[in-house]
A and B are shown apart, each in its own frame.
Chain A
Amino acid sequence: MSAVGSAPALRDVPGPSAVGGGAKRFFELTWLLASTDFKLNYLDTAFGYLWSLMRPLLLFGVLYTVFTKVLRFGGDIPHYADLVLFNIILYGFFSESTTRSVGCIPGSEHIVRKTQFPRLVIPLSVVLTGLFNLCLSLIAVFVFLIATGVTPRLTWLALPLILALLLLLTAGVSTLLSVLYVRFRDIAQIWGVLALAIFYASPVLYPVEKVPHSLQWLLLINPLAPLLTAGRRLVIDPNAPSTVDIVGSAWGIIGPALVLVVICVTAFWLFNRAAPQVAEEL
């Protein structure tokens, strides 16, 4: 119990904040919230893992059939099926985490209004849950890749680097959405449409070299484009062109990197500013 006798000194109470309370506690809380949520949603239900794979697999089946059989697309792209599946899983992590983050602060009202803890834990734990799920899904993807004849390569080991950048982007967008939603409840609908637009504007179903010249500016502002393109080069087809090759300058990397930085800085700034009042506005 409390140390009677050696009375602790009086200290100012910290007040609510985005990140206060120490890095260790921040990480422990994020990890605990994410792992609890992950176990609840993916492991506790019967066939939880298979179930979580069903959605992306079904989406893959539909899109792959439509693109190859109806639109007759992709015949000239090596390992097109593998590319689509791999991209859908990566994009799925981004879209699922961001979508679930939109309402995560009001959704955690029961803890926000009752306890003091670094508020940024809430959106980040949602993203971490998504990351757990992504890692499990990737196992299935790699089984599929090997089964369909993609040769394992040393460059596969560089995938975590891509995932780390994807994680950063997802965390930034999720944080931004979660804080905006507290003020503007129609963010949920807006993001629903926007996420769909981003899906088609990113090289998920098509590789970068198929992007017509008039639309190449999209590659300059979309951080997902160089990530998916680099993922394809590292994992599926080492001979595929990079974003820099297509755009024709280093701006193919610098542009999206700048966008990524702007998103993350804005998200953190807004969240940090709103965190002390967030419990009052729910």
Chain B
Amino acid sequence: MPMAERSIAVEVEDLHKSFRVPSRRIDTLKERALHLLSPVEYTTFEALRGLSFEIAEGECFGVVGRNGSGKTTLLKLLASIYRPDRGRIRVAGTLAPFIELSVGFNPNLTARNNVLLNGVMMGSTPKEARRRFDEVIEFAELEEFVELPLRNYSSGMSMRLGFSLMVFSEADVMLVDEVLAVGDASFAQKCADVFQRMRDEGRTIVLVTHDMDSLKAMCDRAILIEDGVIELAGDADPVAHRYLQINLSGPDGPPPIAVDGGGAQDAARIARTWLEDSSGERARSFEHGSPTRLCVDIDVRARIERPVLAFEICAADGTQVFGAPLALAEQDGRLEAGEQVEVRATVSNLLTPGRYVVNCALSQNGIDAVDLLRPAAQFVVTGEHQFGYVELEWECEIERRPRASAVEAVDR
């Protein structure tokens, strides 16, 4: 799909936006009066620093970035919710924002009123909104709950309603923020189908997401925003790749959880854990296929009988992808006080691109927990797009035969 043939749907030029954060918040007249003589100092937070990009008509355009990178600010500027400090945004036709789907509803109103109100908010006339109402409810599968106030809806139900509103939006350009994981599996499939249909119809979609799989599956092109500027723009695959690479280079993830074992906690400690690549360098990002080495140092303070170090590798959704127990003292069956144990486990990297967490647990006699480190390490696997958690060994043959006859085909 060459760009030049299509007209521009969204054009952003040198977009700047900063927020003034007061050092001390004054939000009452009383405080204002008390602080008449001491001016409030502001620190300026630059959320966006000169963004420029173009989106072609009919394109599905991804916007990715870590939390706080500025992508939500960009979305709100596009949606006319914030006003840019500098720069220009131009859009061809109408634009409908779908930001945090279920949050835009009034919990006291029924689904019917919320749908009508939301439709008019998004720029429809009340008549159009009423006309679309049945379709919206039917798609959301909420026919029985039309007169129920939204406060009585489950979060899944209101998300479905929000998504359904989006489906029937007639805007030329749609801004969609983090909505692909809506409802149960069958509804999620329905949503995926709808997106596909919208793309086929030539709707312009701006998709903000953290999910690189859907980015790669849906989007033609994407930009990666980092620290208020465009870090990378281009085809979806390299952008997703880069996103995964930088995603763990920043501050560490959640702090490790301390163990609450059965009395044996002080006997030994998992002192250090890290990951190394094939050249022996410490690393947090691994190319698919390159071996990953898990390194664990253990300090033993008191004797441990039949010590076992178990590790597991979990995917971002918590699924345990692989795990194994390592007996640390095969010969004599125990570790003595003062010993240091260095474990180096090399794992072939069959994982598909994504985020992974390593957890380690040290136990004795097979049951008593001694120490637990969760997460012990985090890493990212980069590479070509594939589904699932691991790449199995596979091969495939495709054979094509010419059609025998038209009659036979009809009979079938």
Q: Is there contact, CB below 8 Å, between B81 and A113?
A: yes
Q: Is A110 an interface residue (CB 8 A)?
A: yes
Q: Give the Cβ gap from A100 to chain B, nearest Cβ, in Å.
A: 14
Which of B100-108, B221-229, B249-257 lies at the binding interface?
B100-108
Q: B122 at the A/B interface (Cβ < 8 Å)?
A: yes
Select the residue from B80, B82, B100 with max chain A CB neighbours within 10 A.
B80
Contact B82 A279 (CB under 8 A): yes
Q: Which of A1, A8, A16, A185 contacts B201 (CB 8 A)?
A: A1
Contact B81 A114 (CB under 8 A): yes
A residues near B113, Cβ cutoff 8 Å:
36, 39-40
**Residues from chain A with Cβ under 8 Å of B95 in the complex:** 13
Partner of B28, one of A29, A32, A184: A184
For A10, give its contact among B8, B32, B84 (CB under 8 Å). Answer: B8
- CB-contacts of A1-46 with B (<8 A): 1-4, 7-16, 25, 28-29, 32-33, 36, 39-40
Question: Can you list 28 contacts pairing A with B, beta carbon distance less than 8 Å?
Answer: A1-B170, A4-B201, A7-B7, A8-B93, A10-B91, A10-B92, A13-B90, A14-B80, A16-B81, A16-B82, A16-B83, A25-B123, A29-B120, A32-B116, A39-B113, A110-B103, A110-B106, A112-B81, A114-B104, A115-B122, A116-B81, A116-B97, A184-B27, A184-B28, A184-B32, A186-B29, A187-B29, A280-B19
Given contacts A15-B84, A185-B27, contact A28 B120 (CB under 8 A): yes
Q: In the complex, A35 Cα to B84 Cα: how many Å? A: 34
Q: What sequence of 0s and 1s flags, for each residue 115-142 of chain B, a beta carbon within 8 Å of any chain A beta carbon?
A: 0111011110110000000000000000
Q: Which residues of A contact B (CB under 8 A)?
A: 1-4, 7-16, 25, 28-29, 32-33, 36, 39-40, 110-117, 183-187, 190, 276-277, 279-280
B201 proximity list for chain A (CB < 8 A):
1-2, 4
- Whether the Cβ atoms of A11 and B83 lie closer than 8 Å is no
> How far is it, in angstroms, between the C-alpha of A3 and the C-alpha of B94 when the chains are bound?
11
With both chains docked as a complex, state the minimum distance between the C-beta of B338 and any C-beta of chain A, in angstroms. 60
Q: Cβ of B99: which chain A residues have Cβ within 8 Å of it?
A: 113-114
Closest to B108 in A: A40
* Residues of B close to A184: CB separation below 8 A: 27-29, 32
In the complex, what residue of chain A is closest to B123 when comparing beta carbons? A25
> What residues of chain B lie closer than 8 Å to A14, measured between beta carbons?
80
B203 touches A1 (CB 8 A): yes
Tell me the bound Cα distance from A29 to B201 in angstroms: 30
Q: How far is A159 from B120 in the complex, measured between Cα atoms in Å?
A: 33
Are the CB atoms of B78 and A13 closer together than 8 Å?
yes
Q: In the complex, are the beta carbons of A277 and B83 less than 8 A apart?
A: yes
| B234 at the A interface (CB under 8 A) | no
Q: Is B104 touching A15 in the complex (CB atoms < 8 A)?
A: no
Count of chain B residues with a beta carbon within 8 Å of a chain A beta carbon: 53
Q: A7-B7, A36-B109, A40-B108 are in contact. Are A12 and B97 (CB under 8 A)?
A: no
Q: Which residues of B contact A32 (CB under 8 A)?
A: 116-117, 120, 126
Given contacts A1-B203, A29-B121, contact A111 B104 (CB under 8 A): yes
Given that A114-B103, A186-B29, A279-B81 are contacting pairs, would A12 and B89 also be in contact in the complex, using a CB cutoff of 8 Å? yes
Nearest CB on A from B326, distance (A): 51
CB contacts (< 8 Å) of A183 on chain B: these are 27
Closest to A44 in B: B110
CA distance A120 to B118 in the complex (A): 17
Within the assembled complex, what's the spacing in Å between the Cα atoms of A81 and B9?
Answer: 66
Q: Is the CB of A2 within 8 A of B202?
A: yes
B57 located at the interface, meaning its Cβ lies under 8 Å from any Cβ of chain A in the complex: yes
Supposing A15-B84, A40-B108 touch, asked if A279 and B76 sit within 8 A by C-beta, the answer is yes
Please determine whether A114 and B100 come into contact, CB atoms closer than 8 angstroms: yes
**When the two chains form their complex, are residues A276 and B83 in contact, meaning their CB atoms are under 8 A apart?**
yes
Indicate whether A2 sits within 8 Å of B81 (C-beta atoms), given known contacts A12-B88, A29-B120, A110-B103.
no
**Which chain B residue has the least Cβ–Cβ distance from A4?**
B202
The 6 closest A-B pairs by CB, nearest first: A116-B80, A8-B93, A186-B28, A114-B104, A10-B90, A276-B83
Most chain A Cβ neighbours within 10 Å, of B78, B95, B99, B113: B113
CB atoms of A9 and B82 under 8 A apart: no
Q: Which B residues lie within 8 Å of A15 (CB)?
A: 80, 82-84
Q: Using known A-B contacts A16-B83, A184-B27, determine if residue A11 contacts B104 with beta carbons closer than 8 Å.
A: no
**A10: B residues at CB distance < 8 A:** 8, 11, 90-92
The complex places the Cα of A16 from the Cα of B89 at a distance, in Å, of 13
Within 8 A of A (CB), among B1-30: 7-9, 11, 19, 27-30
* Contact of B172 with A117 in the complex, beta carbons under 8 Å: no
Find chain B residues with CB under 8 A from A28 CB.
Answer: 120, 125-126
In the complex, what distance in Å separates the CA atom of A105 from the CA atom of B215? 36
Q: How far is the CA of A217 from the CA of B283 in the complex (A)?
A: 80
A111 touches B81 (CB 8 A): no
A276 to B80 Cα, complex, angstroms: 9
Q: How far is the CB of B104 from chain A (nearest CB, A)?
A: 4
Q: Which residues of A contact B120 (CB under 8 A)?
A: 28-29, 32
CB < 8 Å: which of A12, A36, A116 contacts B117?
A36
**CB-defined contacts of B108 to chain A, threshold 8 Å:** 40
State whether B105 touches A110 (Cβ < 8 A).
yes
